Amino acid sequence: MTAGRHRAEEDLAAGRLWQARDRVQGLLRPGCSDSEVLDLAARILFAMGDHPRAGAHWYLTEVSHGDAEVAFEAMRVRYGVESGSVGNRALAEALPVRAAVDAYPPRVQDRLADLAAAVQTPGRPWPPWGGRLAGERAGGEQHAGEFGIEPPRQPRMTMSFLVVVLLGAWAAGLAAIVVFIVLWLAGAF
């Protein structure tokens, strides 16, 4: 267990729910498909009373118990998913998916593949992350709605790069002003 996860568990046990939520959000970074971290996030959100978001996190795990069922039902109500339906675009976009489909357990992969087949539309594919074909089930069998997906794109310009560029531009402007003043004082103008 990582230190962050351990501290989030301690915060949850002590009733410091907002701190536990903030800690676990730090663990849910890109590429995270850890069922234990997703379960912890769901338990924290459930304790905070945010049952739909808890359900969205449990959706990405193989957890099945009373609280999860309550959370799944709240999730279906919030996102307008008909009973017995696989899902809709609102539900799909609410899921905290941060990894390729094939990084999740097989049952979750199948669930995501079924959801992808239900919500994809021309020009607006889902899911937006990489991995195996969304139409390919974990066992290798195919079902309706196959389409290829691209790997996740990394931002090309980070905030630190932007700050460096802006500081460089500021420094160049300041240097030009100093040169102009020196030339002006020397009588070049």
The domain ranges of the chain are: 3-119, 155-189
CB 71 within 8 A of CB 44: no
Q: What percent of the chain has pLDDT over 90?
A: 36
On whether the pTM is more than 0.85, the answer is no
The whole-number average pLDDT for the span 10-29 is: 90
Higher pLDDT residue, 131 or 89? 89
List the alpha helices (DSSP H) in 124-189: 159-185
For residue 155, what pLDDT band results from cuts at 50, 70 and 90?
low
- Residue 32: Cβ-neighbour burial (10 angstroms; 0-12, 13-18, 19+): middle
- The whole-angstrom separation of Cα 173 and Cα 167 is 10
Q: Are 135 and 117 in contact (CB under 8 A)?
A: yes
Query: For residue 28, what are its two tokens?
Result: 């849910």
Count Cα atoms within 13 angstroms, Cβ side, for 118: 18
Give dist(CA 175, CA 18) in Å, integer. 48
Could you read off the pLDDT of 163-185 as tens digits, one per residue?
A: 888 999 999 999 999 999 999 89
User: What band does 85 get if pLDDT is binned at 50, 70 and 90?
Assistant: low
Residue 38's pLDDT band (cuts 50, 70, 90): very high
The amino acid at residue 15 is G
First to last CA, the chain: 70
3-state secondary structure of 121: strand
> Which residues does 70 contact at the CB level (< 8 Å), separation at least 6?
46, 51
Report yes or no: 64 and 93 within 8 Å, Cβ to Cβ: no
